[in-house]
Chains A and B, each alone.
Chain A
Amino acid sequence: MKTHQFEVLVVGAGGAGLMAGLYASRTASTAIITKLYPTRSHTGTAQGGIGAALGSVEEDHPEWHTYDTVKGSDYLGDQDAIEFMCNEAVQAIYELEHMGLPFDRTPEGKISQRPFGGHTNNVTGKPVSRACHAADRTGHMILQTLYQQCIKNNVTFYDEFQVVDLLMVNGAAAGVVAIELASGEMHLFHAKTVIFATGGHGRIWEITSNAYAFSGDGPAITMRRGLPLEDMEFFQFHPTGIYKLGILITEGVRGEGGILINGLGERFMERYAPTVKDLASRDVISRAIYLEIRDGRGVNGQNYVYLDVRPESVNKYAALDGRKNPDGSPFVVTGEQILAKLPDIVDFCRVYLGVDPVTQLMPIQPTAHYAMGGIPTNKYGEVISNEENTTVPGLYAAGEVACVSVHGANRLGTNSLLDLVVFGKYAGLRAAEFAKGAAYQPLPADPAAFARAQFDQFLTADGKENAFDIAREMKKVMFDDMGIFRSGQGMQNALEKIRELQARFKHVRVTDTGKIFNMELINAWELGNLLDLAEVTTVSALARTESRGGHSREDYPDRDDKKWLKHTMAYLRENGRIELKYKPVVITKYQPKERTY
């Protein structure tokens, strides 16, 4: 087996991984391993913006950003980490700009900002412009810029290498096992530190904004190695996905004045969030859409409502709301401005819906979008292994795969891109620093044994089951019973179904027996990851007898701070059972109170 040695290994080349790699490589020998070419990472699809209280166009403060994030998290976010992120945000944005990131500009030449859901002026309660943007391709620009900087700094990449196992020796990280896709060979990467930055796992659900690559490899790997996963029951459904396809329509559309309309032509958000209306937090809007549809107010009795960004509608409702430009003049937009600010959204609608959003309505439905839960870390990206916050020597996680937790029960828009650059950077710095004072752990006798066993199974099983059928059934039951609204009975049903699918999965055999780009084999392994994460998600959700943020139960409609103001820590035990433990939320300045928008 080919063996490589690096002080710092970064798994993943999205925003979080590239940031970690850039920083670690300044002082330590570093490699980034990625199953996709870096520029194919899902960060590139992020649209609307990255949050920071720059105050480019109106008054804003990191403290406001902090409070909004705490409130958005439904008080499940750890306040020390949130404050840290929101304070770091301002510098992080300037740093990206100094790396060349082409943000849109204000007339004065400053970084342009737009309103986004849940971000407010804490005095007036009105939406505030906090999302720094580059048209509706902010994530693309971040990904490209960071990759370009990696080229500039000669960072070492292993492109199209799939990491399939983490090696732990003496309770510390010792390296990873990866498959080179082009040759099918297993490689051993011996390391002092490992940083997981593998992104999310939204492919568990039927309607999703997430890429095929979002198969949750990172958390599945660490869970199998005995580490806990935190708050997995919290998964965000974004209110505006393209009907049936799930492709995301950024909240930036509503930031630019777009509104939601039900089948009766009503702007229904007025009833659910009287102050900020269409710019309420995502969980609130997704539930509102669900209820409208359930009560028969979808369009033509179907499972969708409309998003309307036609200039005449935007201007009408902006006038009714008394929305003003920063200079005090009334807010008015033209079709050309919509097109200039949201070119990709217009393109998606034309290509996939045959609809022109400047003159027509967009049919939308909520879409599975973002994992609040993941590998537990502290605010320096160090992975923790228990309820006492004990760190695992040499192991780090950052980005969507991690749970710091800054997003708690519901993430605010623009805070994920921010999370990537802030915590990616700190994970990289910390790992490099740790590596300086640490020795390589000795490697186990047959380091690839565990990974090999997982893959051999697909070549020797009896082939009675089809992987695609299993994936389809998983996605359906998770969307129906583990979606926006949940109930004890529905979740129990989902759990039984997932366990049935896990049993059937053992009969999946791949037909491709080759080595070169055996994507059938890789995809089968990824499906196993999704199934395992679906199980943890459901088990964690069933236990939580309250409603909070993204976890909404019809049988327990209220938040219960007495019992449930705590993080779930789920462990996969040797006997295959999942055990749940809990740890307290860090509360510093903001005591939980009722959450209204």
Chain B
Amino acid sequence: MQITIKIFRYNPEKDKKPRYESYKLEAVETDRVLDLLEKVKGYQDGTLSFRRSCAHGICGSDAMRINGFNRLACKTLVRDTGAKITVEPILGLKVIKDLIVDMEPFFENFRSVIPYFVNDEPEPAQERLQSPEQRERFDDTTKCILCACCTTSCPSFWANEQYLGPAAIVNAHRFIFDSRDRAAAERLKILNDIFGIHRCHTIFNCTLACPREIQVTKAIGEVKKAIVTGSLE
């Protein structure tokens, strides 16, 4: 089938302001949007720039706005988009070139929530024991690939880049509810800050955007509850 793909273009070395460019190409229903971008780059305009690596929704490189929704280009098929596709960079982060945005503020927020395991007790000779139920407690949030689809769909983040955003909270959740970890209280304190969790007004965009189907809003709710009750039960 014939596809028209309209792509946001901006080259800071040449363009005063962004523009859109349309390309026509042949595609099949099972083509990924990423495949189309590759074809455009290969045969129509080599200057088109975007990030990508794994091509199957695991590395988190190619978050973009596809027909208005935050999606991974490699996990969105022509079957789902139809013959007219608009591709733009994710919102709320500075555009560097075409579909490439500055990810630093996003990673900075991630790094600020103590996103690593803390337990200074003496290590046992073998593994620390953890029951399947305790492990299940934080399973959902271990799936995060830091793609930023959620955070850049969040109106509170658009309003203020300093808001930690759902991805950072998801990654805090992953440790807060890990029975082996010992830094939950510290993380909850960080999230209780003015740019923390209270900026979330449960608008749900994040959950709808997550390509890993993480229940982001639910995780945020659990963290909120832990802050209010001071308990991880």
Hey, which bits of chain A sit against chain B, CB under 8 A? 36-37, 39-42, 44-45, 93-94, 97-100, 102-111, 134-135, 137, 140-141, 144-145, 148-149, 151-152, 182, 211-213, 245, 247, 344, 347-348, 351-352, 354, 466-468, 510-512, 514-520
Asked whether, in the complex, the Cβ of A212 is within 8 Å of the Cβ of B52, the reply is yes
Residues of B within 8 A of A36 (CB): 53, 59, 61
Shortest distance in angstroms between A283's beta carbon and chain B's nearest beta carbon? 24
Q: How far is the CA of A121 from the CA of B165 in the complex (A)?
A: 49
Shortest distance in angstroms between A89's beta carbon and chain B's nearest beta carbon? 13
27 contacts between A and B (CB under 8 A): A37-B61, A39-B145, A40-B54, A42-B59, A98-B128, A100-B178, A102-B178, A104-B132, A104-B135, A110-B129, A135-B139, A137-B58, A137-B143, A151-B111, A151-B115, A247-B55, A348-B56, A351-B57, A352-B30, A352-B77, A466-B42, A468-B43, A510-B46, A511-B45, A514-B97, A516-B12, A520-B46
Q: How far is the CA of A98 from the CA of B123 in the complex (A)?
A: 7
Q: How far is the CA of A512 from the CA of B100 in the complex (A)?
A: 16
Q: Looking at the complex, which one of B59, B123, B125, B129 makes contact with A44 (CB distance below 8 Å)? A: B59
Residues of B within 8 A of A107 (CB): 131-132
Q: How far is the CA of A523 from the CA of B218 in the complex (A)?
A: 41
Shortest distance in angstroms between A422's beta carbon and chain B's nearest beta carbon? 18
Residues of A within 8 A of B103 (CB): 37
Residues of B within 8 A of A145 (CB): 117
Q: How far is the CA of A433 from the CA of B60 in the complex (A)?
A: 35
Hey, which bits of chain B sit against chain A, CB under 8 A? 11-14, 30, 41-43, 45-47, 49-61, 75, 77, 79, 96-98, 100, 103, 107, 111, 115-119, 123, 125-132, 134-135, 138-139, 142-143, 145-146, 175, 178, 180-181, 213
Residues of A within 8 A of B46 (CB): 510-512, 520
Q: How far is the CA of A229 from the CA of B45 in the complex (A)?
A: 36
A-B pairs with the 10 shortest C-beta distances? A100-B117, A468-B42, A109-B129, A148-B116, A512-B47, A511-B46, A152-B116, A40-B59, A520-B46, A211-B53
Residues of B within 8 A of A106 (CB): 132
Besides the contacts A99-B117, A105-B131, what 6 more A-B pairs have beta carbons closer than 8 Å? A94-B125, A108-B129, A134-B142, A148-B116, A151-B115, A514-B11
Shortest distance in angstroms between B143's beta carbon and chain A's nearest beta carbon? 7
Residues of B within 8 A of A134 (CB): 142
Q: Looking at the complex, which one of A211, A348, A468 makes contact with B59 (CB distance below 8 Å)? A: A211
Q: Looking at the complex, which one of B75, B139, B142, B175 makes contact with A351 (CB distance below 8 Å)? A: B75
Asked whether, in the complex, the Cβ of A39 is within 8 Å of the Cβ of B59, the reply is yes
Residues of B within 8 A of A149 (CB): 116-117
Q: How far is the CA of A36 from the CA of B139 in the complex (A)?
A: 26
Give the residue name and chain of the B residue nearest to A139 (CB): B58
Q: How far is the CA of A147 from the CA of B230 in the complex (A)?
A: 29
Shortest distance in angstroms between A377's beta carbon and chain B's nearest beta carbon? 25
Give the residue name and chain of the B residue nearest to A95 (CB): B123
Asked whether, in the complex, the Cβ of B55 is within 8 Å of the Cβ of A516, the reply is no
Q: How far is the CA of A149 from the CA of B130 in the complex (A)?
A: 20
Asked whether, in the complex, the Cβ of B116 is within 8 Å of the Cβ of A151, the reply is yes
Residues of A within 8 A of B146 (CB): 37, 39
Shortest distance in angstroms between B128's beta carbon and chain A's nearest beta carbon? 7
Give the residue name and chain of the B residue nearest to A348 (CB): B56
Residues of B within 8 A of A514 (CB): 11, 13-14, 47, 97
Asked whether, in the complex, the Cβ of B60 is within 8 Å of the Cβ of A39, the reply is yes
Give the residue name and chain of the B residue nearest to A107 (CB): B132
Asked whether, in the complex, the Cβ of A148 is within 8 Å of the Cβ of B57, the reply is no
Give the residue name and chain of the A residue nearest to B97 (CB): A517
Give the residue name and chain of the A residue nearest to B42 (CB): A468
Residues of B within 8 A of A510 (CB): 46
Shortest distance in angstroms between A579's beta carbon and chain B's nearest beta carbon? 34
Shortest distance in angstroms between A370's beta carbon and chain B's nearest beta carbon? 15
Residues of B within 8 A of A467 (CB): 42
Asked whether, in the complex, the Cβ of B41 is within 8 Å of the Cβ of A520, the reply is yes
Q: Looking at the complex, which one of B53, B56, B58, B107 makes contact with A140 (CB distance below 8 Å)? A: B58
Q: How far is the CA of A120 from the CA of B220 in the complex (A)?
A: 44
Residues of A within 8 A of B145 (CB): 39, 44, 140
Residues of A within 8 A of B42 (CB): 466-468
Shortest distance in angstroms between B36's beta carbon and chain A's nearest beta carbon? 13
Asked whether, in the complex, the Cβ of A102 is within 8 Å of the Cβ of B56, the reply is no
Residues of A within 8 A of B50 (CB): 519
Q: How far is the CA of A41 from the CA of B60 in the complex (A)?
A: 10
Residues of B within 8 A of A511 (CB): 45-47
Q: How far is the CA of A100 from the CA of B181 in the complex (A)?
A: 8
Residues of A within 8 A of B119 (CB): 100
Q: Looking at the complex, which one of B55, B135, B175, B180 makes contact with A212 (CB distance below 8 Å)? A: B55
Asked whether, in the complex, the Cβ of B13 is within 8 Å of the Cβ of A516, the reply is yes
Residues of B within 8 A of A44 (CB): 54, 58-59, 145
Asked whether, in the complex, the Cβ of A105 is within 8 Å of the Cβ of B135, the reply is yes
Given contacts A37-B103, A102-B138, A352-B30, contact A516 B59 (CB under 8 A): no
Shortest distance in angstroms between B190's beta carbon and chain A's nearest beta carbon? 14
Asked whether, in the complex, the Cβ of A520 is within 8 Å of the Cβ of B142, the reply is no
Give the residue name and chain of the A residue nearest to B80 (CB): A351
Residues of A within 8 A of B60 (CB): 39-40
Most chain A CB neighbours (cut-off 10 Å) among B43, B58, B118: B58
Give the residue name and chain of the B residue nearest to A519 (CB): B49
